[in-house]
């Protein structure tokens, strides 16, 4: 399996921040964050800084871009087209800097306090959808019905699959779907796939690699 690109990585972290020596001045902190991480777009007015979501866009950390950095009353959400380890490093750097230089401390407020989302574009050597060929009868019925109703004669193949947790049974942060599907607009024979998972990038890649290994060599 080959990684073709990271479409999106997101880390959601729940916590509260406190400054024992006194309330921080929002315009000053917003300007300092924008300056440190070179955000191209940052909140500036009091009205923007008092919104439920305060958003910084297109920043720089180390040698990669941060797509968005969103600040809420109960935590933050950071997205990037780099892997989740990069986002973790950014959050650690931000927390250390705010504590050491500005006296802001993090208070943990949730047992499940962090959630990951990873979206990847990969190319596999094998057809990972081969096990679904057991539904060949259903595929043929679809093809036959389509031919009868519209006159279009085409072959249907499995396009993807989705796995999910029962969200009604989860009271904490809810994990997103694990989804694997063919990349739109690409010939099926190329085995280029789009996958999303509520996991760190490395974990996500390990699962996709293992999935490919489970396929017989002839596929």
Q: Is the pLDDT of residue 50 over 70?
A: yes
Q: CA 90, CA 39: separation in Å to the nearest integer?
A: 13
Per the CB < 8 A criterion, the answer to whether 101 and 94 are in contact is no
Strands 16-18 and 178-182: unpaired
Percent of the chain past pLDDT 70, that is, above it, reads 99
Instruction: Give the per-residue pLDDT at 61.
Output: 98
Per the CB < 8 A criterion, the answer to whether 36 and 42 are in contact is no
Q: Which residue has the higher pLDDT, 80 or 18?
A: 80
- Summarised one tens digit per residue, pLDDT across range 88-117 is 999 999 999 999 999 988 888 888 889 999
- The confidence band for 219, taking pLDDT boundaries of 50, 70 and 90, is very low
In eight-state DSSP terms, residue 140 is H
- Rounded to two decimals, the pTM is 0.89
The mean pLDDT value for 149-176 works out to 91
- The confidence band for 5, taking pLDDT boundaries of 50, 70 and 90, is very high
Q: Is the pLDDT of residue 57 over 90?
A: yes
Q: Is the pLDDT of residue 218 over 70?
A: no
- The confidence band for 217, taking pLDDT boundaries of 50, 70 and 90, is low
Instruction: Give the per-residue pLDDT at 207.
Output: 95
Instruction: Give the per-residue pLDDT at 125.
Output: 92
Token representation of residue 123? 């190319």
Per the CB < 8 A criterion, the answer to whether 11 and 84 are in contact is yes
Q: CA 126, CA 128: separation in Å to the nearest integer?
A: 6
Per the CB < 8 A criterion, the answer to whether 9 and 83 are in contact is yes
Q: Supply the Cα-derived Rg of the chain in whole angstroms.
A: 22
């Amino acid at each position: 399996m080959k990684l073709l690109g990271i479409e999106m990585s997101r880390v959601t972290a729940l916590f509260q921040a406190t400054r024992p020596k006194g309330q921080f001045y929002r315009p000053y902190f917003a300007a300092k964050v924008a300056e440190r991480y070179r955000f191209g777009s940052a909140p500036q007015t009091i009205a923007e800084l008092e919104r439920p979501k305060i958003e910084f866009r297109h920043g720089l950390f180390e040698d990669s871009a941060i797509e968005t950095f969103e600040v809420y009353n109960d935590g933050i959400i950071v997205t990037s087209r780099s892997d989740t380890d990069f986002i973790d490093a950014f959050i650690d750097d931000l927390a250390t800097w705010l504590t050491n230089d500005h006296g802001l401390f993090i208070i943990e407020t949730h047992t499940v306090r962090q959630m990951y989302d990873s979206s990847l574009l990969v190319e596999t050597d094998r057809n990972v959808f081969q096990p679904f060929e057991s539904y060949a009868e259903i595929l043929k019925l679809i093809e036959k019905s389509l031919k009868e109703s519209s006159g279009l004669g085409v072959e249907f193949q499995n396009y993807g699959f989705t796995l999910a947790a029962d969200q009604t049974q989860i009271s904490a942060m809810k994990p997103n779907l694990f989804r694997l599907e063919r990349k739109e607009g690409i010939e099926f024979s190329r085995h280029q796939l789009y996958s999303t998972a509520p996991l760190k990038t490395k974990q996500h890649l390990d699962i996709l690699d293992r999935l490919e290994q489970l396929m017989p060599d002839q596929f």
